[in-house]
Structure 1
Amino acid sequence: MKIIIIISVILTIVVGGCLHTAPDTEINGTKKITWYAAMLDDEWELYKPIVDEFTKETGIEVEVKLYGGEWDELSEKLKSEVESGNGTADVVTIDDFAVTKNKDYVYDLTAQAEAWNEWEALYDAKKRSCVFNERFFFIPWRADCLTMYVNTEKLMEHGLNPPETMDELSETAKTIHEKEGAGRVGMKAKKYEGLTCEIAIFINAYGGNYMNFNSESNVKAFESLQELSNYLHPKSRTWDEESIPDAISGEEIYINFNWPYQVAILEKNGMSGKIKAFPTPKGPVGRGTTTGGGFLAVSKESQNKDAAWEFIKFIASKRGQGMQLQTTGWLPIRDDAWDYLKEVDPAKYTNLMPYRETLRYGLTRPPVPEYPELTKLWQDAFWEIVWEEKPVNDTLNKYQSIWESKENG
């Protein structure tokens, strides 16, 4: 359900700017912007103190229209407003998959981003999707990523430690399989976007990427996956974000990869004492994960671009991201936000700390128009290699040819 919330303040505005737009809207002596936010009602209740703090500091009211998880609906609303020349939104949230199709409807922030002295503090994996032809259109909002969860008690029963490398992951899975006669490593490996995210853990650790199926690095990554497949739980073919937390909570599996929300589920299920988060295993060039979380942008039709930019800067600052991490658990777009959390909530920092290490190795899902086709190709390649045991080189060569034909077609 979408709702509108007005945040009232009594401070006067102190924001400057040089975007040369129409004067910002005056409301009761303060300024006001409208934010179309992809948040659920309960998420907004956690997020509201951050926006309140911005209003307190700047005197800028923020009218928030919640779109829940309806990212596509939000994008269509932005497009409609810009094309009609009659816009309400000032700030919008844009999904990782939608930056390419929305860049023509948002304001070019190149001058502002280049003058902003905090751009370099942001994670590279999030920055890559912000820039097109050396022009800045988006600023990262949050940075979800996958990391590894391990039932440490079950591994200790077999004299094992959480795997630190890809080789150790395979050896750990093999040892448990030999002792228990069952696969105790799980993946979200049904054919859907979550599988593409899991693939990134492996190809990034070996130095690969999403755009070159048959690179030497990707071949090595899939050879590792094919070896691991001998010890995966067979239900991995059916698991997704909703089902795999129950599998590890119920000790069907002892190791899996997932997003930060699994921490809360483990706590709810009384398993947080046994199952801990760890950084993803290292490959030859480092760890691997993929990133999500969305972006912030200023609508091209905004009449309040100065104030909108000030809001985005606040949310993207060390303090804004630290507050976001503290109140919602959403991972930050910059490393120094973790230091903020460590100071104000050491216990929460300890629980989420493995994500800090893993986030440094994020692999961006490429912002190309053909991405919906690209992700399906990766899922098909995984199934042929991992479940159907087809040759790695031949299969990746085949999918590289298919991808090149789509790119050039």
Structure 2
Amino acid sequence: MTTEGCPLFPTPLSPGTDHDARSAALLDTSPVVRARLADGTPVHLALSHAAVRQVLVGPAFSRAEASRPGAPSVVPFHAATGLLHTMDPPEHSALRARVARAFTPRAVERLRPWIAGLVEDMLDAMEADGPPADVVAHLTAPLPVKVLFQLLGVPYEERDDFREWAEKILPTGTVSPEEATEAADRITACLQRLVRDRRSRPGDDLISTLWEPGPDGTRLGEEEILANLLPLLVAGHDTTHNQLSNSLVALFDRPGQWALLLRRPELVPNAVDELLRHQLLSRVGMLMRVTTTAVDVAGVTLPAGTAVNALNCVANRDPAVFPDPDRLDVSRQEAGRHLAFGAGPHFCPGAQLARLELGIALSALLRRFPGLRPAVPPAELRWKEGIMRGPWELPVTW
């Protein structure tokens, strides 16, 4: 089937652009549109809030089929099978239940005092170092990875090495493939040792939780646990890190919103959701799906075997759900309806933890640095050019 005349996906975007205007314009034509990947492969894009939610929730849209070798992909690699994000129910459900134990509301809330203290220590160092100071180096980059190390139970004396290796395997393009491979091998070896240690000496951490038997009494194997830890580590760091950086840039660009949060700090949790809704984090949307049967999406019939990508960044600016969607409003009542964390079986298991980190960090910055502002003009910021959007540095003063 020819794709001549179909829009190219992903849409070419200038570094730093906070929304995908071209894809959003397609929503004016249809909730679901046909597009083409760079190699000419056809793909359908779900754009409206309702269509994106249907793709993410519906059982006819398979992650497992989309993860097989040869399936259409917007990234230059395919994830291994047997991972949490490459499985469908019911296999996915059993593994998901184990991971979810570490992210229950009670488990996440227990981390609040520790994360708050960690943020205060980081801001102490930033205050001593500046102004000006790079808030990325002092806060937004190290915070998520340190939280993840706490969650995994990485020994304190090994965390500096873990952080160095973790940063090298993140998809930033700043290290050579050889360096990234070496770092991945090193961190995998250390994780393997931790996995084996927690089997005989369980503690209060994610790895120990994964060793526990499931509802049916079965246990995961060492390789299953290990294979799922590395993606969790990478995804959990890169998303929260860049979202916090992008949130600060957005608020700096709109000083009235920063001033509103200073007057009404109780709005911070809602502001976190509104920033998740408004800011473009990934230009490729959610993970690709492939239909397992013919299905109707917003009046468009998709045959079995159709590749579908759900663009949550467009759905999050659907005017049918979010009035005046391009306006950032930290008091927006419907902000929590965003799909930044996905929906359905693959809803981000760490969503509550991410919200907690973002809220604590933003609240602390407002309280300690009410006059926080960028130390360089916006045009001078250097932006990452890969799949994930975020500034390399964010110099600030106060």
TM-score range, shorter chain: under 0.3
| Higher Cα Rg, which structure | 1
TM-score by length of 1: 0.25
TM-score by length of 2: 0.25
* Structure in which a larger fraction of residues adopt strand: 1
